A and B are shown apart, each in its own frame.
Chain A
């Protein structure tokens, strides 16, 4: 277990190296990028900028500066928005967590019964129907699904607004609920398509296990076997999967947020990419990577707790 935690720390360290290298790869002079081409006339200002941001140090000094500021939760200062990255995040991150969280919960509520139904009625109509459903939504890019939902539910039949809740602060999420419906629907449908496939194969694997035969031999009803034995065991891999699919969900959130102008972290990332606001881009990258690494670590721990057959042996 300690070994696994150390591994996670190592992975995070490599993430900081990768983001640091990316920061160094930026073409041109960062001082010019921030202060504009006029700065060429003022070498003193450039020198000042380089000193303040540590660009005058050798690369290892710069890396150390970047790492130690990360350890103090200083993610940098936006070049375009005149705010620190952490204050931007404190405004945008909760909205993304809200969007992704609700979508995961809703998706699990749908995907678990769908996957089970598919596995139990394998190669019958139900299976093929939901298989087609999940393939279509798996193949459909999030922005296309979002656009179609807007086209149908906001323009043809104006039931919901075509944009996510606007405005600063987290409070707007709770005042403008109808604006949340389409973004959440988009992300949820795509997440269901991801999860139900895994749920199906997980249930199929478990149906052939010996304990199913034992339970049936003892006279347990079909329903009891499915709900008490198979369902529980099939959920274990889904816990791990949640950790693994977190990056895909963040990517889905980025697209969804940019389609609906939903002011979350993905939207901020997208705008920063358009504006070449690198401190924000790399700050968010580190946060997302941290979330993924911690997520998969928790998933592994949950796996060990839920499944008595799995134990981490320290070597």
Chain B
């Protein structure tokens, strides 16, 4: 197609072979494809590997993704098991020990109420992680249902449902969440609900697209010709093929949900004191920035960044693993 649109000047015939030509790129891009075609049972070369096995191998080869998983395992242990090992007082305000710099007794110092920052980090992390992960799961469920119904039913229902998604997408999630949160007193379940109900939109678009394209695939059509019903089409063919995409999206949803809960709490409209999440720790630390009390900001900020980055790494690793056809390494 692009060849036809070339310029009218005659093409020179004696071009020296360019070692960095696009041809080389194209060759590099596909060797895995022939490889997988052989490996997936065209030749009786040993045991055929399942798509899942191959995906898992790709995932474990991705160092960043494995690091992401390690970060999550560590953070979950840190937040939920940590307080049982590292006992600190997080209930009684202790003005005798407020705003102490890091020392042997308090590895990350103490805050304005005399709470140990390391211990506070663990308890605050429980809220950030719980709300983030639960909201992402709920958003995924809502988005999958909405998108699957729209994509499978089609027609007017589909376009109406998708216009609603368009309309909600045109309002920034943070704005929508702030309006809702300013109306109700936020608790953990309320925040999970608010975040989920404002962030299922991208998932629904993705799933709708997936449902639309899968429905017309040859193997689904072939199965229908052979007498399979709708339930079989969805359960046996469409769902397993869409599940990878959904998982990848859910991982990115975790990153976004944690970013949102942390931002809401930072703005003072998320988790309310005396409970605090990482965003709340940051926002109460802000008042002391001018005194140079870095330990009230850096530790909580560090936790937020690595948890969100880890979710992105895992999501990218999963995407590589799912898109077996796009493996270009």
Contacts and interface: CB of A to CB of B under 8 A. Distances in A.
Contact of B263 (A147, A212, A217, A255): A255
A278 B163 CA distance: 25
B289 to A, nearest CB: 6
B216 interface: no
A25 B194 CA distance: 14
Interface in B228-268: 255, 259, 262-263, 266-268
B173 A18 contact: no
Contacts of A255: 174, 263, 266-267
Interface stretch (B34-42, B101-109, B176-184): B176-184
Contact of A207 (B7, B11, B25, B179): B25
B22 A207 contact: yes
Contacts of B184: 27
Given A141-B263, A143-B282, A270-B267, A135 B169 contact: no
A221 B166 CA distance: 44
A147 B286 contact: yes
B20 A222 contact: yes
A150 B183 CA distance: 32
Interface in A183-211: 207-211
B282 A288 contact: no
Interface stretch (B46-54, B91-99, B141-149, B302-310): B302-310
Given A18-B171, A208-B22, A293-B170, A274 B269 contact: yes
A285 B22 contact: no
Given A140-B305, A141-B263, A15 B1 contact: no
A144 B305 contact: yes
B189 interface: no
B129 interface: no
Nearest to B176: A285
Interface in B1-52: 1-3, 5-7, 11-12, 15, 18, 20-23, 25-26, 29
Contacts of A18: 167-168, 171
Chain B: interface size category:
35 or more
B6, B7, B22, most chain A CB atoms within 10 A: B22
Contact of A292 (B22, B170, B173): B170
Interface string A10-26: 11101100100010011
B223 interface: no
Contacts of A276: 182-183
Nearest to B306: A139
B172 A247 contact: yes
B297 to A, nearest CB: 6
B152 interface: no
Interface in A256-315: 258, 269-270, 273-274, 276, 278, 281-282, 284-285, 288-289, 292-293, 296
A269 B175 CA distance: 8
B290 A155 contact: yes
Given A141-B263, A147-B282, A274-B269, A209 B172 contact: no
A139 B305 contact: yes
Interface in A120-156: 135-136, 138-144, 147-148, 150-151, 155-156
A104 interface: no
Given A210-B3, A288-B175, A15 B305 contact: no
Contacts of B301: 140, 144, 147-148
B292 interface: yes
B178 A289 contact: no
A110 to B, nearest CB: 21
A252 to B, nearest CB: 9
Contact of B282 (A144, A216, A274): A144
Given A147-B282, A217-B11, A251-B172, A141 B304 contact: yes
Given A214-B2, A273-B179, A281-B182, A288 B163 contact: no
B72 interface: no
B312 interface: yes
A36 interface: no
Contact of A141 (B167, B180, B262): B262
Nearest to A258: B267
A90 interface: no
Contacts of B289: 147, 150-151, 155
Contacts of B171: 15, 18, 247, 285, 288-289, 292
A274 B182 CA distance: 7
B174 A254 contact: yes
Contact of A136 (B2, B169, B305): B305
B11, B173, B175, most chain A CB atoms within 10 A: B175
Nearest to B7: A218
A158 B304 CA distance: 27
A248 interface: yes
A210 B1 contact: yes
B174 A139 contact: no
A216 B3 CA distance: 12
Contact of B164 (A14, A147, A150): A14
B321 to A, nearest CB: 18
A211 B2 contact: yes
Given A211-B2, A218-B12, A255-B263, 5 more contacts: A11-B163, A15-B167, A18-B168, A213-B22, A284-B175
Interface of B: 1-3, 5-7, 11-12, 15, 18, 20-23, 25-26, 29, 163-164, 166-176, 178-184, 255, 259, 262-263, 266-269, 279, 282, 286, 289-290, 292, 294, 297, 301, 304-306, 308-309, 312-313
14 contacts: A12-B167, A22-B179, A141-B263, A141-B304, A155-B290, A208-B26, A211-B5, A247-B172, A247-B173, A251-B172, A251-B175, A274-B269, A278-B179, A284-B175
